Amino acid sequence: MTSSTHSIQPASTTSNSSTLSPLSPPLLSVAKSEAIIHVMPSALRFWDKVGLGPKGGKKNTTVFVIYEQRYHETEAEQHDGTGNAHGWRSERIMSWLRNMCELYKAKNLGEMLPGKSNLCQNDGLVSFRFDSSFQKSLASFIASLPPPKDSSVFFILTPLSVMSLSSETLCYVFSAVNKTLKSYSEAQPLFQFVPEPHVLNAAVNSSSLHDFRSGSFLHSVYDRILMPSERAMSRKFFTYGQKEKKYFEVPAFTLARSLSETKVSYSSSTDPALDVLDRHILLHVGYGISSCGRWILASCIDQRGETHAMGVWSTQRRTPSDNERKDEMPGMDATMNLDELYTVNKVWNFAMQFAEKARVEWRIVFAKSGNMGVAELDAWITHSYSALHSNSQIPMHISILNVENSVPWTLTPASQTQSLGIANQHPTSRGSSLSRSVPNSMKVSSKSQFFVDTNATTYELCQKDRLPVSVPPTLDDIGLSSDLVDVSLPIENDDYSLADDQPLLPLSSSTLICIPDSSVLPRMVNIHLIYAAKSEGCAYPTVTSDAADSPQSLLRDITSSYYSLSVLSSARWETVSSLPFHLGAVETMRKALSTRNCLESLRRDT
């Protein structure tokens, strides 16, 4: 048994203003045999040995690999005379596809079979020219395929030379894929872009099924395959009525329900169609602005991680017409900033489309990744007041959060903090300062053991005093977050404001502190509850600053859900992440759009 000790010294809190407590990892819901069981996140590492399976059952699919056709390889195949492709690239791609199909079955995810077509050189392999003719070739290939019994997955091997959003070749491929998805929306085809070097290098050791990150890659493919759900009807009354079949995301594993979430609640609501089991469940919406200020990034996910969505829109910095002022921006004040109102309107509509997939009395949490100004908060208050009081709105509760990342504190030795009284007491030893004891395994009895991940330990800091949101410059602001300092982007265009004349005063604040089991700086997520409101008919209690423990209780639920979603993102991406799933997606999109040479091409294609 090993242990390490740290004490945390907050720079802006006192001994009676905050409480600190370690968090236990949440349980994950997976399948074993024909039952749904709850396991710790560390159990996913023994997926094959324990015989775990996806929670939603097996997903059978037909797979094709589309790769770039080279001129010299075409001539070699013509001289071969057999009609089969014997190029070295084709052999390695075929070996990689065979390994993926076998590994997909070995992980109990289902059957992945190479597709058959007259245009395929080998089963599952087809090559196109990656130029302006790609769209026509792809449309002809899709049209020649028979109706699939199950889902269809198309792996597009992307050459390293075109892996840039400013690439004209990649624009041809993106355009062809988008038009194919619109034309064959009922078939729900799945297109997965795969870097070509990953396939060619992995296929060198074709005897090994477990290539680097192949397991997480297949889990990602499994999660993206949608499963149909048919609505029972006695007969069809109208030709253009509601769809009887819809497709939903069913991931391999999700966060398990807690004991408090298994209780059924009844109410005298006028809308009996609302779900009685998932009442007041959290719906997390994260959004932010790209570093260049030209793109709105958003992502949302439910409390248990069963489904998610992402969106990117242009900020379109312009003066709207009178009709747009009335239709798209209800309740707009002439003194407000139109950019903030436009951003709020886009994020709100994105969240409502996601929330309408289930008849649930949601608690929707809107979180801004980065600094939020007074004008943006005014836009949220104005828009939410108008939307929540509309007659067509189902009962819901909304919260506005400001989330800051990458603002770590400094760790000091335990001997220095004992006299200051900052550290909390250890749960198992009264009178001593708070320490972090991380056992490699916790023995429960002589016959069983629980194995926990000791790479990092996360603490929850709940501040009792209301302090203004004052964000210091981060490492990203001064270009020290990476080895290469990028001076091409001026700091005045950054999303973070170095000075705010009117800092926001939150209703309540909390912090998630992720301390790695090494000398690396801790990762921290500062969460500030700025505003809360509810619609008429919502049974959730009103959150005000005067209510006793009301903001703290709401923020405690949100902080706990954030930690659970960060564990879920770490399990799905096989990383140690301190951000919840939706905010991690926003940061990933922000980094993807931070390359200057791709901004103009993206604006041209949007």
Task: Write the CATH number for 216.
Answer: 3.40.50
List pLDDT tens digits, range 282-308: 999 999 998 888 899 999 999 999 999
Spatial CA neighbour of 547 closest among 585, 508, 580 = 508
In a domain, 22, yes or no: no
| pTM, rounded to two decimals | 0.79
Domain hosting 65: range is 58-230
pLDDT value for 383: 92
Is 183 a residue whose pLDDT tops 70? yes
The number of folded domains in the chain is 1
Beta bridge partners of 18: 463
In a domain, 284, yes or no: no
In a domain, 181, yes or no: yes
Mean pLDDT in the chain?
76
In a domain, 75, yes or no: yes
| 107-116 average pLDDT score | 93
Spatial CA neighbour of 584 closest among 355, 288, 324 = 288
Task: Please check whether residue 529 is in contact with residue 554, taking contact to mean a CB–CB distance below 8 angstroms.
Answer: yes
Task: Please check whether residue 338 is in contact with residue 326, taking contact to mean a CB–CB distance below 8 angstroms.
Answer: no
The CA-atom distances, in angstroms, between 197 and each of 47, 65, 158, 200, 511 are 27, 14, 9, 5, 40
| 329-348 average pLDDT score | 73
List pLDDT tens digits, range 543-599: 876 665 688 889 999 999 999 999 999 898 877 778 999 999 999 999 888 765 454
CA Rg, the chain, in Å?
A: 26
DSSP string, 363-407: EEEEEEES---HHHHHHHHHHHHHHHTSTTPPS-EEEEEEEEES-
In a domain, 484, yes or no: no
Task: Please check whether residue 194 is in contact with residue 157, taking contact to mean a CB–CB distance below 8 angstroms.
Answer: yes
pLDDT value for 102: 92
Task: Please check whether residue 561 is in contact with residue 524, taking contact to mean a CB–CB distance below 8 angstroms.
Answer: no
Angle at CA 315, nearest 5°, toward 312 and 317? 165
* Token pair of 403 as six digits: 């989330």
Is 425 a residue whose pLDDT tops 60? no
Q: Which residues are CB-contacts of 468 (< 8 A; sequence separation ≥ 6)?
A: 503, 504, 505
Is 320 a residue whose pLDDT tops 60? no
| 321-347 average pLDDT score | 65
Task: Please check whether residue 170 is in contact with residue 162, taking contact to mean a CB–CB distance below 8 angstroms.
Answer: yes
List pLDDT tens digits, range 23-64: 888 999 999 988 999 999 989 988 988 899 999 899 999 999
List pLDDT tens digits, range 499-550: 445 778 889 999 898 887 776 777 889 999 999 999 888 878 888 766 656 8
Cα–Cα distance, 524 to 12 (Å, whole number)? 14
List pLDDT tens digits, range 461-500: 888 778 788 655 655 655 655 544 444 444 444 444 444 4
3-state class (DSSP) for residue 304:
coil
Q: Which residues are CB-contacts of 405 (< 8 A; sequence separation ≥ 6)?
A: 369, 474, 523, 524, 525, 526, 578, 579, 583, 587
The CA-atom distances, in angstroms, between 425 and each of 14, 257, 432 are 15, 30, 6
pLDDT value for 427: 35
Q: Which residues are CB-contacts of 554 (< 8 A; sequence separation ≥ 6)?
A: 399, 508, 529, 532, 543
Which DSSP symbol is given to 542? P
3-state class (DSSP) for residue 247:
strand
Cα–Cα distance, 29 to 37 (Å, whole number)? 6
Sign of the CA dihedral running 237, 240, 242, 246 = positive
Cα–Cα distance, 566 to 384 (Å, whole number)? 28
Task: Please check whether residue 124 is in contact with residue 63, taking contact to mean a CB–CB distance below 8 angstroms.
Answer: yes
The helix or strand, by DSSP H or E, that contains position 368, with its residue range, turns out to be strand 363-369
Cα–Cα distance, 543 to 90 (Å, whole number)? 62
Task: Please check whether residue 215 is in contact with residue 103, taking contact to mean a CB–CB distance below 8 angstroms.
Answer: yes
**Looking at 17-21, 64-68, 310-314, which range is the least confident one?**
17-21
In a domain, 90, yes or no: yes
List pLDDT tens digits, range 302-317: 999 999 999 999 886 5
In a domain, 356, yes or no: no
pLDDT level of residue 269 (50, 70, 90 thresholds): low
Task: Please check whether residue 100 is in contact with residue 218, taking contact to mean a CB–CB distance below 8 angstroms.
Answer: yes
CB-based burial, 310-331: b 16+ in 10 Å, e otherwise: bbeeebeeeebeeeeeeeebee
pLDDT value for 524: 87
In a domain, 456, yes or no: no
Cα–Cα distance, 24 to 344 (Å, whole number)? 35
The CA-atom distances, in angstroms, between 93 and each of 65, 96, 99, 141, 160 are 8, 5, 10, 19, 16
The residue that leads in pLDDT, 240 or 343, is: 343
**CA quadruple 479, 482, 486, 492: dihedral, nearest 10:** -30
| 422-427 average pLDDT score | 37
3-state class (DSSP) for residue 527:
strand
Which DSSP symbol is given to 479? T
**Looking at 10-14, 223-227, 244-248, 428-432, which range is the least confident one?**
428-432
Percent of the chain with pLDDT strictly greater than 70: 66
